Amino acid sequence: MDEPSATLNCDQVELRRWRMSDLDALDRATCESLSHLVPWMPWAAHHGRRQTSEFLARSRHEWETGQAFGYAITTDAVVIGSCGLHRRVGNGGLDIGYWLHPRWTGRGLATMAAAALVSEGFRLAGIDRVEIHHDAANSASGAVALRLGFTEVERTRVPEGPVAPGEAGIDVIWRMTADQWQARTAERGQRAS
């Protein structure tokens, strides 16, 4: 089975595959981030140590079956958030998701983590597009997509309406194709030399 690397690096962040030994670090980061997460992520409203343990077990299973590839976002070996590549947008596509502890926001770290995911996603066989989905009210997630050069392709009203308290109930879909990412990467390489 085709799978991404267990460890990815991009500037100031290292992404590494979640492991059961991360229980304490992830639980602490999540607990400290609840006021930041609850408006956007329905699972955060019911967070507890048992849910964290179940998340880690599910992450291992999803990795092994190729459904999703979940990573701890770390900097200086400290867990500061979570991100992943998910096969939930149809053949040839991956969806990425991410969150950071609020103490670490505003430094470009979510953008670095997302860039690492996009690069690695396009290394997987058969992947021709990567998407970012977020609620229209979550402008921080949209800013990550915009900074990376994604194109907004659709806005759709969510049939069940908002599922978290901060949401507007409108799903925004951003897309990056493999060709666009390759051109963007080549352009950045030319500017750096």
What CATH number corresponds to the domain at position 83? 3.40.630.30
In a domain, 1, yes or no: no
What is residue 159's predicted lDDT score, i.e. its pLDDT? 92
Residue numbers of the domain that contains 153: 7-192
Torsions phi, psi for 65 (to 5 deg): -95, -5
Q: Is the pLDDT of residue 20 over 80?
A: yes
Q: What is the pLDDT of residues 77-86, one digit of tens each?
A: 999 999 999 9
Q: Is the pLDDT of residue 32 over 90?
A: yes
Query: For residue 192, what are the CA distances in angstroms to 52, 174, 185, 186?
Result: 41, 26, 11, 10
Distance of CA 9 to the CA centre of its chain: 14
Residue 126, burial from CB neighbour count under 10 angstroms (0-12, 13-18, 19+): exposed
The answer to whether the predicted template modeling score (pTM) of the entire model surpasses 0.85 is yes
Q: What is the pLDDT of residues 94-105, one digit of tens each?
A: 999 999 999 999
Kindly give the interhelix angle for 49-65 and 23-37, rounded to the nearest 10 degrees: 110
Cα 90 from Cα 154, distance rounded (Å): 16
Q: Which tokens hold the place of 19?
A: 């492991």
Cα 42 from Cα 61, distance rounded (Å): 21
Q: What is the pLDDT of residues 160-181, one digit of tens each?
A: 989 999 999 999 999 999 999 9
In a domain, 179, yes or no: yes
In a domain, 2, yes or no: no
In a domain, 127, yes or no: yes
Averaged pLDDT for residues 73-77: 94
In a domain, 151, yes or no: yes
In a domain, 109, yes or no: yes
Looking at the 3D structure of the chain, how many domains does it have? 1
Q: Is the pLDDT of residue 131 over 60?
A: yes
Three-class secondary structure of residue 49 per DSSP: helix
Average pLDDT across the chain, whole number: 94
Q: Is the pLDDT of residue 75 over 80?
A: yes
Query: For residue 98, what are the CA distances in angstroms to 46, 73, 95, 121, 126?
Result: 18, 9, 10, 14, 23
Confidence of residue 187 (pLDDT cuts 50, 70, 90): confident
